[in-house]
Structure formats: structure tokens, C-alpha cells
Structure 1
Amino acid sequence: MPFDASPAPLIDGFGRPVTYLRLSVTDRCDLRCRYCMPERMTFLPKKDILSLEEMARIAGLFIRHGVRKIRLTGGEPLVRKGVMSLVEALGQHVDSGDLDELCLTTNGTLLSRHAEGLFAAGVRRVNVSLDTLDAARFRYITRLGDLDRVLEGLDAAQAAGLKIKLNAVASRGAFEEEVDDLIRFAHERGMDLTLIEEMPLGDTGRDRDANFLPLWQLRRDLDRRWTLDPLALSTGGPARFVRVQETGGRLGFITPMSCNFCALCNRVRLSATGKLYPCMGHEGASDLRAALIDGDAEVLRTIRQTIARKPERHDMVGQDGQALALSRHMSELGG
């Protein structure tokens, strides 16, 4: 009997089914966001990166064993040469009904070029990182970015039929003055907005303690200006949503630091080098690239062993409540 004749679901040691794979197609990015990486970032050589065919092969195993959602991340996934061939290959699983959703997280700089192709390949939702609507501040945060290119990408994505969720990393200072504008901008255009606490991933040269803004504090401030109605909605991720009565739009909060969200975690992450991370907030990973040499049976065995070691919760907050930094940069797994 073939090793995979009776596909069994992927279940971790706490009984949580893994149905969501976040696949990082590259660690490279065309921006240098201050909360993500240092200005002089060293990226991996091409020889260390999985081929797109290898990524499709590994993703196929996950799909066969119960993964129903795949998100392509980076770095910036759209800078990967030929990445649309991977999108198209994975989109075939959507067409067949074996995959419920194929989506993408992007900084938006190349979205105008690829929006129509993404929709044609089966992508229906994209998350776009946008921390400010001020062009000068956008340039400061990203070091290299042009806000107009991102806005053009949003327009192109909506014209192509893609649903958009904006992601914004919360921080003290100017962000607190601009968050209302982000809410209005997103909701006037039919986009959700999710606010995210900064995570202690990699040495960025940034004073995280000085910049960190807990979302419980930001929400308290928002409650003074907006009417926020809690929603039972779940999109398969860690965000908790409210409906803003004044706009009718949805606002999400992702709180990895101030309010642990791990109890219902259903996801694992595959790096561009083939390292499978059962948890974003742990350094431990297994090497699926090495397992590929011995065939799909060995890859599947390694996947199952790794998922069995999935921790109950992340390690980014110590017992004293202080953030514990990991050496891995956010660009390696897409956050």
C-alpha cells in the first residue's frame, strides 16, 4: 500500500488540527521597514532557497493531509522571480476544491503589476501592510517606499476583484495621531483594517520598548472616539474584530504581546529555506529541504514529528511580562 493511501489530518500534541500553512517564498524585500529589519539587511543566497517546484510539492502534501488555507508571505513575496507560477500551481488546488483559500500578504509596491494575475490564479484576498497615509512618514518607516505605488496597487487590486485587508503595526507617537485616518481610509474603500502589536523578532536597531504600543491601551483611546461593537467573526487567524458603528467597517486587533492568542492556533510556517516552524514565537524548526532528498514519505514523517512538537503557546513574553527577543527577523517568515 502506498505510504499516503489513507491521508490522516495533522494534529498537534494539544489536539489542535493544523489547517493553515503560511509559506514564505523569499526572505527578500524591496523595503526596509524599521520594525522589521535593519537598514543594511543581509539576505540569503539563492542557493539556500527552495525552488518554486519544491514549495509546490511540499504544499501539496500539506493540502492532502488537511490544510485548507495557504498564505504566501515573505519578505515581499512578489519580488520572487517567477512567483506567479507557484500561485498558479497552488490555485489549481482551489479549483479542485482541495484548498479553500489561497491568499497573499504584501507590502503593495508590486501589486498593480500582479493584481489581475493573482485573481486569475484563484487568489481572492490580499493583506497589504500600510502603517501611515503620510507620504513622508511612509518613506521614513520603510526607508525606500513610495506611498503612491502602494495606493496604485490598492486601486488595481480592487479593480481586479481582490478583497483587501490593511495591516498596520501600532507604535507610540505619530501613529496614535493617524490611526483614525487609517480607519476612515480603509472603511470608505470597503477594506478591513487590522492593527498589530510589534513583535520582538530580530535585531532591527530600533528601541522596541520606547516604540511599543499595547493594543489594549490603543483600543481604550479608540473607544473614546468610536463606537466599537465586538464581533464573533473568525478569519482563521489571531485577529479579534469589532464593527465600527460610525463607518460600518471592521477593525481587527492582533495582540501577540499583551494578550496571548495561541489557544486555538491552527497554523504552521514554512520558511523559504524549507525550515518548518510549528510556532512563530519559537526558534525550533525542522528541515524539510533535507527530507525532500529521501522522498515524500520522509517529508510527511518530518511534518508530523514537527507538528507533534508544536508548543502550547509562543515564547515572546517572559513570566515577568517582558518581551523576549528572537534572533530571527520577521522577513524570514512573514510575521
Structure 2
Amino acid sequence: MIRFTLMRLGLLLFGLAVSSVLIFATLRILPGDVAQLIAGTQGTPEQAAIIRERLGLDRPLPLQYVDWIGGVLRGDLGTSFVTGIPVADELVQKAQVTVPLGLLALVIALAIALPFGVLSAMRRGRADGTALSFGAQTLAAVPVVWAGMMLVIVFAVWLGWLPAQGFPRDGWSDPAAAVRALVLPAATIGVVEGALLMRFVRSATLQATGQDYVRTAAAKGLTRNGALLRHGLPNVGLSVVTVLGVQIAGIIVGSVVVEQLFSLPGIGRMLVEDVGARDFEKVQGELLVLTGFVLIVGFVVDLVHRGIDPRQREAT
């Protein structure tokens, strides 16, 4: 287990290193000049040159990368070219919206996928099982923006139960208002991701149904569904853990769209605004943090899967 952990940790660090290079290089080929943007429409080329020198943008790109990654290793993600605020401080502030949003969306996705995925497999060939499967196929194809608009129309406009947009100005000082503001955005992500995961759970459950140990348990007196619930679901859980990393990445991508749609002051919305402002120092820090989070989730999923699956431990 120690050897496996060290190998996965090495891959994680290698992935972060490659990602940092790609992020830095990609941002530098985007059109636009942040120095000219800061100087304004009335700024002269001389003023833009002074700003470029002050920000270090006139230095060779390899030196700029070394300075940036050196700061990252010291825990310094840099300072925004536009606002002058440390990137890490803004990320911590915006994470107070994005992290709860993602966790609530994940809970909703699992609450949809696990029971309904298993039920649709157990009721295969019947009207209710077919309806559940069709519903999952339909919801999985729904764009996140359209799903969000439909939820707003129903629960905010027609019923008036939840706010349509925004987040409390005082943040989490009023937890009830903060949670109410996140319910619709989280449901928008959770319903779509839950439908995708439900299809996978259904497939894994059907595969478990045909395994020898399930048939043996049924032959010893258990019903088919009883044998599946008692002996098949643990293996379905292993499969779900494996795909959770991909689902979490989907939730992160969905949060970028949803935060724009619901006017939430989170990391996703900040990232879109900073790309438009050509604030490269800030954008590269945000992208590195998001990429690192996805890689860390994959690392944890690998460790959990190996820890709970005896077949992988026996293989080594």
C-alpha cells in the first residue's frame, strides 16, 4: 500500500507540474494586452510599456514561469494585475460559495443516482424501471443552463419558494439565507450529474446481477433482488467510487456555468470575469488550484478504491 501511495503521489506531482506549464503557456498565447488594459483606452504606448515593465511582463517567458512557480511552491499564488489583491485571498473568499455549492450538488447527485439507479436495474423490463431509465437518459442530455432556467421558473417564479439569483451580502452570517441561495444552483448541477451517474449505477447493478456469487446466493434460497441487495451492491459501490472522480470534475465545470447563471460570487464566476479582463496572474492561479483539486480527488479515489477492494491488494 505504501508503494502504491508513493507511485500515485508521484503521478499527482507530475500532473501538477505538467498542468502548470500548460496553463502558463496557454494564457500567454491568448490575444490581448493586460498592460494596455490597465492603462485604459486613453493610455499611450509609453504608459503601457511602463506598466509592462512594472509587472514584469517584459521579461522572458521562462523567467516569468520560474518566478510564478517559485511563488506557488512558497504558497504565494501571485497578485492580481487588475485589483492588486493577492490571488490566494480572493480564492479563499470565493471558495466560501463554490465549495458548499459543489458539496450540496454532489449530495443531490448521489441521492438521485444511487437509489434510482439500483431500482431501475431491479425493475428492468417493467414499466417503472423503463420510465426511470428513460428519465435518466433524458435528464443526462439536458444542458445545465436550460435545467437551471426551468428550476428558476418553477421554484422561484411560479412557487416563490427560493431566490432566483444572488447570494447574501453578509455571506454565511445568515446560514439559512445562504443555504436557500444555493439550493437551486446545486440542484441544477446535481440533477444533471445525478442522471449521468444513475446510468452508470444501473449498468453496474445489472452487471452484478449476472455474477456467479449472486446466482449462488439466489440458489441457496434468497430472492433475486435479495441476493443482489445483500451480495451485489458492495461491488456496485466499488464501481461508483471509481467514477466519482469524473463526476466531481463535472461538478466543477458545471459550477462555472451555474455561478454565472445565478449570479453567485464564487470561483467559477470570478474565473470567467478574470479571463475577460486578461488578468493572467489571477487566472493562472485559479486554474492551477482547480486542476490541483481535480487531481487530488483522483488521487484520493485511487487510494480509497484500493483500500476497500481486496482484489487489488492481493494483486500486489
Q: TM-score range by the shorter chain?
A: under 0.3
> Would you tell me which structure has more strand in proportion to its own residues?
1
TM-score normalised per structure 1: 0.22
Q: Is the radius of gyration larger for structure 1 or structure 2?
A: 2
TM-score normalised per structure 2: 0.23
Structure possessing the higher relative contact order (Cα contacts under 8 Å, 6 or more residues apart): 2
> Would you tell me which structure has more helix in proportion to its own residues?
2
